[in-house]
């Protein structure tokens, strides 16, 4: 592990090899991933080689909001979640827990002291206990409806308007309306009856 000044201004940034990518990539305790200098060949010129300088990789956002990076080995690409790479490199996991929990629920905060190994149920309980159910209702990034729409839909359902008709009005499938009616989705919005 090599130590470098932390760009965030606290302590030292420590770099560690990424498992299965030895000699190619490293991860830091601050949640950054970098490629290492390596020899590459120029395909156009033939067997001529050059040194490709390593660099800190720019993360991309996964659909669920987690940061990931693309790692390459033997011509194959693999997308890896940064918080998982950090945990595997720096946090012991003697109980073989399967998930990595962000203690502050900020999915982009991959600093090692913000991460911990957890079971799936511990991870869910942590989110529930701390009010981090961020994908419910209007906070769901893929939602098509808002709280006001759902209140109106529940009122219309209470007055006998069909799921198919409401689906056409709100441009959603009738199964979405049925899930609202049964309370499977949007259960935090109370049902109104005419």
- CA–CA distances in Å: residue 42 to residues 3, 49, 73: 32, 6, 17
pTM: predicted TM-score of the whole model, two decimal places: 0.62
- pLDDT tens, position by position, 138-158: 666 557 888 889 889 988 988
pLDDT tier for residue 4 given thresholds of 50, 70 and 90: very low
- CA–CA distances in Å: residue 144 to residues 14, 147, 165, 184: 43, 10, 16, 16
CA distance 3 to 1: 7
Least confident of 88-102, 121-135, 141-155, 172-186: 121-135
């Amino acid at each position: 592990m090599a130590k470098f000044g932390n760009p965030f201004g606290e302590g030292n940034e420590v770099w560690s090899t990424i498992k299965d990518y030895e000699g190619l990539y490293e991860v830091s305790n601050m949640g950054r991933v970098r490629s290492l200098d390596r020899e590459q060949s120029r395909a156009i010129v033939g067997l001529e080689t050059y040194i490709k300088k390593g660099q800190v990789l720019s993360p991309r956002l996964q659909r669920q909001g987690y940061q990931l990076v693309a790692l390459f080995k033997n011509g194959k690409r693999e997308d890896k979640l940064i918080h998982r790479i950090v945990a595997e490199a720096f946090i012991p996991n003697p109980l073989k827990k399967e998930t990595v929990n962000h203690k502050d629920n900020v999915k982009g905060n991959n600093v090692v002291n913000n991460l911990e190994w957890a079971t799936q149920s511990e991870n869910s309980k942590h989110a529930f206990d701390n009010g981090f159910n961020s994908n419910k209702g209007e906070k769901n990034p893929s939602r098509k409806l808002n709280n006001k729409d759902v209140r109106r839909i529940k009122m219309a359902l209470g007055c006998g308007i069909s799921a198919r008709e409401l689906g056409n009005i709100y441009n959603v499938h009738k199964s979405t309306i049925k899930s609202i009616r049964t309370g499977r989705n949007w259960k935090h919005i109370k049902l109104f009856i005419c």
